[in-house]
Chain A
Amino acid sequence: MTEASKRFHFPSLEFRREPLTLFLLTGLAIILVAIVALFSRLYHAKLESLAEEWSSRGSADLDAHHYADAVVDYRTALLYDRDNDSYQLNLAEALIGHNGKDETDEAATYLINLWDRQPENGTVNLELARIAASKGQTDRAIRFYNNAIYAIWPGDQEQARHTVRLELIALLMRIHSTVQAQSELIALADNLGEDPPAQAHAAGLFYQTGDYEQALNEYRVSLRGEPHNADALAGAGQAAFKLNQFRLAHRYLRDAVFLRPTDKDSAQLLKLSNLVLQMDPFRQQIRAVDRERIVISDFAAAGNRLKSCTVTGVNSATATRQQSLQQSWNKLKPQVTGRGLRRNPDLINTAMSLVFQVERAGNDACGPGSDTDKALSLIANLHEGL
């Protein structure tokens, strides 16, 4: 042992007491922390198992549409794991399913909290959009629907976005926001790919928004993949009919009725389109004799229309108009014969013009009339515009 080492001593007792105390306290703290950590682990494991237990009960109740029970289950699960996003979302869905006003408000609260944390979550945005839509907050609903369309979805993202967009379109159509609905439909149609039923559905939506041309195009695309889809054929026929493309409409409707004879609407439209094709004297590639015969027939039908739709009342403008048309018809009647039409081909236009006037006045005064009258009105629209 060196002199130096002999002279090196530890602090005396009074100075050693506090460091020793600190050392002991530190040791005690470490031991206690370890014990509490063990207790904490057991405690959290217990809570976790309870949360999972109640969550699985909730999931079963949600699947069985027992929303009230699911609400209780998920509320309990959240007692043990209050920040679990999945539980909160499921609780919100259960609350929405339960469908009370208070429940919807509570669901909205949970969803807003979730949205704060996960603004990119598609389900959260969709549910918020639905709640806003149910409360009539359309701007808010549209914003959340748009968020949902571009959000992240679990599983098939495209399918989820497609579904959301369809809901958005339905909302836009409900609030008569036709232009926005049509633009969403165009986006929808662009992303459909080879999916004839979806294309037919989109075509139907185009039809509902009044965009018959797009509707017909979509139906055609759909029919390429599924030529024997009666719905698509009927839809295409109706769209073509609306576009006054009666020959095309006739073709689609004929196939539709053939495939589904119970489709009365299509059958009626088929009948009308058939009549239009038969009663239209201006259609191309028709013999002069046939044209004259059709004009005579249409003129006679107009006469019948005048007889069947008699408006009384001296001062009525409609009655005056009817009387005037009756006089014109009576005056022209002797000329509208095969010989008269051959001698004066311009008479065809004059006679048909009177026929169209009679049908329009008849529609205004007495409603659509017989199928023949409806067909003549359609021919009038086709050649003279609305």
Chain B
Amino acid sequence: MGTFSIFEAGPVAQQERTDSAVAASERSLGALWGSLFREDRFFLVLSVFIGIFSGLAVVCFRFTIDLCRIYLLGSGAQPSTLRLILAPTIAGLVIAVLVIHVFPLARGSGVNQTKAALFIYNGYIPLRTAMGKFITSALAIGSGHSLGPEDPSLQIGACLASALGRRMKLSRERMRLIAPVGAAAGLAAAFNAPISAILFVIEEVIGRWTAGILGSVVLSAVSSVVVMRWFLGNDALFRIPSVEMKHPSELLAYAVLGIVGGLASVVLAGGIKFARPRCKAFAPWTHYFQPALAGLLIGIIAAFGAPQVMGAGYEYMDQAIHGQFTWQFLAILAVLKIVATLLSFVSGTPGGIFAPVLFIGAMLGAAVGGVEHVLAPNLVGSPGTYALVGMGVLFAGFLRVPMTSVFMVLEVSQNYSIIVPVIVANTFAYVISRAMDDTAIFDVLTRQDGLELPSMEEQREESILRVEDAMRPPVKRVLETSDLSNWSARSGDQKAPDVMLVRLKPSGWSSVTRKEIESTGNEDPSGAKLADLLANRQIPYLHPDQPLDVALRYVDRWPLVPVVSRADFSKLEGVITQEGVLERYRDSNLE
């Protein structure tokens, strides 16, 4: 350990005093230094850097997508037919070659790859994947494939974090968590929405709330958003016109939107479930042409009057929010975007699904709002509000992330006045989607890729076994310390159970076996020695509401664990045994 003493040398006594002071100072500084750079704290600092690097990467990614679009499709808002057809087709060919030969892990959206890094590969994602994702996704989105930049940004963030963690030689536990930290940073920068990114990573990637990881995720998300805003400005993703709810009964109209959105989510998810494995199952040589074919078909759709379906389509969502399309055209756009997104996604073109989902939601929402406005002009407000709510609806129904969907709408719009319609519509969409389709889309994709990752939705909905589920009624023999003498006298009682609980005074529990009573019965007729022994041999107790996992820590050491009331520790609610716990787990598996 080093020293930081600045004292002058002096007489011996003073020198000794000084030495001891210096030693204390060294110890305290060392402790402070050590505490500052303890791995958990250093991890927090590292999270800030992960956020900064991810933010910078996402900014570059956004610039690259835009430049690709300008150079591939032209700078005009209405590209020529030739460009509309050729750009996504040729880009598709190039992307296929890159994905097959150079960046095989760049395929897909990126969310599952990040989950796989967390649960399978100990946080390892090759940096090459980030490069591949960056190049191929920018090319795909810029050339007009119906994909978005959010999921790739998430994966790029996770890759950078993983690379940084490896460089820092973090422990395996930290390495596992570092990918989600980077993912939150990437997603936050892509959406300009830190809260939604944090919630998404917690809700869909990690699946649990823990203080240790939450701090890092928050720090990385916030720092990436700061970087992103530095370069791209503070504006929200969409410019929201004034939104208002005309009357509480308008919530009925939003509920209808939720139902329609839920059904659309099922259609989109069903399309992916059906077509993706079939596309993958085609002969390997076809994989070179699948993205190109998807690009060609999307180009044809665009050339036939719907160029809005190309790319992420944020500017068109903005126009839908501002009521610049008729409801008929909005409905057509929603349908065509579903088709275009299916084509792009199932062909294995790298790119995200978030933006297309938002697009479909916005168009569908505005269309439903428009129809409702025609049918009930006094009930329904601006279709723009419905477009905004529609985004959340599809997000909730398709991605099955109910909390994220609500906050995402609020954050991208920077408008909190529509929270009630958003919650109502999203709930309907989520419930319908959940009822009509058992498996969430990310779980489907995982299984199609041959992986078995934990399903966050199933985890959320899984009922936790508690102590009360395995608890048995209070044993017949619960002894007070005062009873010990009587029991000692009647030690030959063959009906007594093998193990008995003893309620200690003033508080606490212990257990005693019949053999112990029998063996001490003659030497200690009053039971006083036994009582002393038991007082020093207290056993742990449980409460009925505690998770059953907690009981596992005790049941192998103590054959009988008391379950007591939280209000009165001396009141026995039941007992837990190892056999009972295992039996309950066995039953729950059978269920």
Please give the residue numbers on chain A whose beta carbons come within 8 Å of chain B beta carbons, in ascending order. Answer: 2-4, 7-12, 15, 18-19, 21-22, 25, 29, 32-33, 36-37, 39-40, 43, 46-47, 50, 53-54, 72, 75-76, 79-80, 82-83, 102, 105-106, 109-110, 112-113, 116
Contact = CB atoms under 8 A, between A and B. Distances in A.
Interface string B53-83: 1001001100100110010000111100000
Most buried by A among B4, B8, B76, B326: B76
Interface in B297-328: 315, 319, 322-324, 326
Interface in B309-349: 315, 319, 322-324, 326
A90 to B, nearest CB: 15
A4 B5 contact: yes
A21, A54, A75: most-surrounded residue (chain B CB, <10 A)? A21
A113 B239 contact: yes
A29 B49 contact: yes
Contact of A22 (B1, B45, B59, B319): B45
17 contacts: A4-B8, A4-B9, A12-B2, A21-B168, A33-B227, A43-B63, A47-B66, A54-B75, A72-B76, A80-B75, A82-B315, A105-B324, A106-B322, A110-B322, A113-B241, A113-B322, A116-B242
Interface string B1-24: 111111111000000000000100
Given A15-B34, A76-B76, A79-B77, A39 B6 contact: no
Nearest to A75: B77
A113 B242 CA distance: 9
A50 B49 contact: no
A54 B66 CA distance: 17
Given A75-B77, A76-B75, A11 B60 contact: no
Nearest to A41: B231
Contacts of A29: 49, 52-53
A192 B235 CA distance: 45
Nearest to B76: A76
A46 B70 CA distance: 10
B4 A8 contact: yes
A76 B76 CA distance: 6
Contacts of B315: 79, 82
B1 A12 contact: yes
A7 B56 contact: no
**Shortest beta-carbon contacts, A-B, top 10:** A18-B37, A76-B77, A43-B63, A109-B322, A106-B324, A11-B2, A3-B9, A25-B49, A36-B56, A75-B77
Nearest to B75: A50
A40 B63 contact: yes
A102 B325 CA distance: 8
A3 B8 contact: yes
Contacts of A116: 242
B241 A112 contact: yes
B33 interface: yes
Contacts of B416: none
A354 B436 CA distance: 95
B274 interface: no
B121 interface: no
Nearest to A95: B324
Given A11-B2, A102-B326, 19 more contacts: A4-B6, A7-B5, A7-B22, A8-B5, A10-B2, A12-B1, A18-B37, A29-B53, A33-B52, A36-B56, A36-B231, A39-B63, A46-B67, A47-B66, A50-B70, A83-B235, A105-B323, A112-B241, A113-B322
Contacts of A83: 235
B127 to A, nearest CB: 14
Contacts of B60: 36, 39
B427 to A, nearest CB: 30
Contact of B78 (A21, A22, A72): A72
Given A18-B42, A50-B70, A4 B59 contact: no
Contacts of B30: 15
A222 to B, nearest CB: 46
Contact of A32 (B42, B56, B63, B76): B56
Contacts of A4: 5-9
A106 B239 CA distance: 14
Which of A9, A15, A19, A102 gathers most chain B CB within 10 Å? Answer: A15
Contacts of A113: 239, 241, 322
Nearest to B233: A83
A275 B32 CA distance: 115
Contact of A43 (B6, B66, B319): B66
A359 to B, nearest CB: 56
